A and B are shown apart, each in its own frame.
Chain A
Amino acid sequence: MEEKILLLGAEAIAQGAIDAGISGIYAYPGTPSTEITEYVQRSKEAKKRNIHSTWSANEKTAYEAALGMAYAGKRAMVCMKHVGLNVAADAFINSAITGTNGGLIVTVADDPSMHSSQNEQDSRFYGKFAMIPVLEPSSQQEAYDAVHLGFELSEKVKLPVMLRITTRLSHSRAGIKRKNIKNQNILGFPGKRNQFILLPANARIQYQELIDKQPDLEEIAEHSVLNKSSIKNSSGLGVITFGIAYNYLMEVVSENNLYINILKIGQYPLPKKMTQSFIEKCSKVLVLEEGYPVYEELLRGFWEFSGPVRIHGRLDGTIPRTGELNPDIVRAALDIEKNEPHPGSTLVAGRPPELCQGCSHRDLYTELNEALKDVNEKHVFSDIGCYTLGALPPYDAINTCVDMGASVTMAKGAADAGLRPSVAVIGDSTFTHSGITGLLDAVNDKSAVTIIISDNATTAMTGGQDSPGFGRLYDICLGVGVEKEHLRVMEPLKKNFEMNVKVLKEEIAYEGVSVVISNRECIQTLTRKKRAQNKSEIVK
């Protein structure tokens, strides 16, 4: 047998996708999903097999491209972080109505505890909303295997399949056993003329088909290898685990030799028969979900007295209402005494992330703060990226960070409301992701906004991926209709401080749309390039 390879959960999914015969992977970077696509980009096997893997401009374009590849009969994967699915939601929900032709897996990486995100929304809600199968592996090996299972399932039921993971699984390594590589599908088109034409008359037919598939999906889940019921103690405690929660339970079970009933769920829709028969054999049930209490709420029922068995979990405080699970939380929920841990040190100070030394955003914020020094109402709308760290001291430079592209449109709305000056700071990659359309709105309305594109020539926060509009931001803004005399370019360097402050002051004073492109390469990607040139150095 081949040796196991040590992979991150994200990488296991990527390797699984290559081995399951995908023809393309589509994605916009987003923690904790980025490493899936990066792995395919680095893979020699993927290159040899000519698998598409370049970055998309945003999650919606990525999703639609993957759907197009599946339309053409090939297997495709699209990856995103949980909030990325909000961006792709239109395509996602409607792809459940069209169904698919070649296999389509949408891998969504949720971020409970918000390690690198604005919220901890649970993508399983979206899975239910779209009424498609969802796979939620508990381990890296299961994640690898689930990709194979997911593609077979997708092609069998002709629906996209969601593969839901969370930060911990994505960013943890374990040994993986690979399966044999499958050949890619050949080009082949949908047999049904109207499947993908969602005119109302067709859409009603397609939607009915989706509804009609639901009992089959449930029946498949009843027999899935990812769902397993184990009764150890009839009329005793039962624990229902979803996804990775299984590991935390098993950690505690194996360590304390517990004899309890366990229902392990890794495939949705929830297998009703299996779940019901499990609950009937328990005196009380603890629900462990890595995310929202999606199924706990369902099992409780609206009136919370739907059955004789008490349900415990996040909703009654047995498990904390928010945040990711861990073995300590499970131990406490099972009333297992823990050994007295070390009380910890009183000396430790917080060490929050910061903008790197030499980062171009630092110079921009110093300049912007100076330019806005005498402004009464200083409100700077910002966005998602490294530059969001400008919210922290010593800069305290921005007032908002909501969703990709919102800086431009919120600045526009505030300007419409009468705020002067109304300033936005957005990164280059965020601008091409979702800022361009907002800029078009501002141009059409001649809104009094100053949009600063802090262009570091990369998608920096997620580790320096290609920026889709690299080298073309000036032309893009011009094309959208920004006036040439109010489209300024500057290089944020200390030696240019006076000049840049002057540029910013001039544009902030303009009663119309102005765009300032503040352009200097990310210090991380620059250092990496220099390092690659200097082989004698050690790379950490």
Chain B
Amino acid sequence: MKKDIIIAGVGGQGILSIAAVIDLAAIKNKLFVKQAEVHGMSQRGGAVQTHLRISDQPIFSDLISKGKADLIISIEPMESLRYLEFLKPDGWVVSNINPIKNISNYPDTDKILNEINHLPYSILADADTLAKQAGSIKASNMVLLGVASEFFGIDYALLKKSITEIFGRKGEDIIQMNLRALEAGRQEALKVIDI
């Protein structure tokens, strides 16, 4: 078992929380984990990404090779396209549909969504709306984790356990809201996979 995952977004969107949940679940599953993050200057509203690798064998490189990623999870649609070079031919892209337009030359959103839709394996989700329904727009990252949960081979119950642990000190309400967001995302994925 070996999964190479790129998690992408804009600084401040919570990509590291997605990574933290998968990391913890993988460690609990006795898997090897390597997860390279971006700290420092680019965190200020810039493009951010993390390379997350999990495997039942020791992992060498902290970075994923081009053409080797099994999955791209993106909280922002254009950011999902930034890392296509890393995607395997049969890799999945899971992306939010809601853009963050903090640059003047942001491309046409429809074109972006169209390109994602035309990838061989992709799921677009309105993570912001689903997160709002779950309790807060800030949980859109957990919605996307829920969508992606069908693709990286870690038991769903373990992901839920990780969320409970990671958000534990923020109280029961926050845990439940994040779990609702996760489940809403998972249902989106199941809809697509069923078809």
CB-defined A-B contacts under 8 Å, sample of 9: A34-B39, A171-B36, A246-B60, A250-B61, A326-B61, A327-B65, A342-B84, A347-B115, A350-B47
Beta-carbon contact of B34 and A353 below 8 Å: no
Which residues of B are found within 8 Å of A386, using beta-carbon distances?
Answer: 44
**Any A CB within 8 A of the CB of B42:** yes
Q: Give which listed residue, A115, A338, A345, A538, contacts B40 with CB less than 8 A.
A: A115
Beta-carbon contact of B115 and A338 below 8 Å: no
**Chain A-chain B contacts (Cβ-Cβ < 8 Å), number:** 169
Beta-carbon contact of A540 and B62 below 8 Å: no
Beta-carbon contact of A540 and B12 below 8 Å: yes
**Any A CB within 8 A of the CB of B190:** no
**Any A CB within 8 A of the CB of B32:** yes
Q: Chain B's nearest CB lies how many Å from the CB of A325? A: 9
**Any B CB within 8 A of the CB of A197:** no
Beta-carbon contact of A347 and B112 below 8 Å: yes
Beta-carbon contact of B85 and A251 below 8 Å: no
Q: Give which listed residue, A326, A342, A348, A536, contacts B65 with CB less than 8 A.
A: A326
B31-66 interface with A by 8 A CB criterion: 32-47, 51, 59-63, 65-66
Beta-carbon contact of B60 and A168 below 8 Å: no
Interface residues in A, total, Cβ within 8 A: 57
Beta-carbon contact of A349 and B107 below 8 Å: yes
Beta-carbon contact of A341 and B34 below 8 Å: no
With contacts A350-B47, A351-B47, A540-B141 known, what are 7 further pairs, Cβ within 8 A?
A4-B27, A116-B41, A173-B33, A174-B59, A342-B86, A389-B44, A461-B41
Instruction: Of the listed stretches B122-130, B143-151, B152-160, B170-178, name the one at the interface; the rest are far from the partner chain.
Output: B170-178
Complex alpha-carbon distance, A115 and B46, angstroms = 12
Beta-carbon contact of A348 and B78 below 8 Å: yes
Beta-carbon contact of B40 and A172 below 8 Å: no
Q: Chain B's nearest CB lies how many Å from the CB of A532? A: 11
Which residues of A are found within 8 Å of B65, using beta-carbon distances?
Answer: 251, 326-328, 331, 338
Which residues of A are found within 8 Å of B36, using beta-carbon distances?
Answer: 168, 171-173
**Interfacial residues, chain B to chain A (CB-CB below 8 A):** 10-14, 16-17, 23-24, 27, 32-47, 51, 59-63, 65-67, 78-79, 81-82, 84-87, 89, 102-103, 105-107, 111-112, 115, 136, 138-139, 141, 167, 170-171, 173-174, 177-178
Complex alpha-carbon distance, A225 and B190, angstroms = 50
**Any B CB within 8 A of the CB of A247:** yes
Contact (A355, B41) CB under 8 Å given A173-B35, A341-B66, A348-B78: no
Q: Give which listed residue, A3, A171, A331, A340, contacts B38 with CB less than 8 A.
A: A171
**Interfacial residues, chain A to chain B (CB-CB below 8 A):** 3-4, 6, 8, 31-32, 34-35, 115-116, 168-169, 171-175, 244, 246-248, 250-251, 254, 326-328, 331, 338-345, 347-356, 386, 389, 461-463, 535-540
Beta-carbon contact of A353 and B62 below 8 Å: no
Beta-carbon contact of A538 and B41 below 8 Å: no
Complex alpha-carbon distance, A535 and B168, angstroms = 12
Chain B residue nearest to A394 (CB atoms) is B104
Beta-carbon contact of B40 and A348 below 8 Å: no
Beta-carbon contact of A168 and B63 below 8 Å: yes
Beta-carbon contact of B60 and A248 below 8 Å: yes
Complex alpha-carbon distance, A305 and B31, angstroms = 48
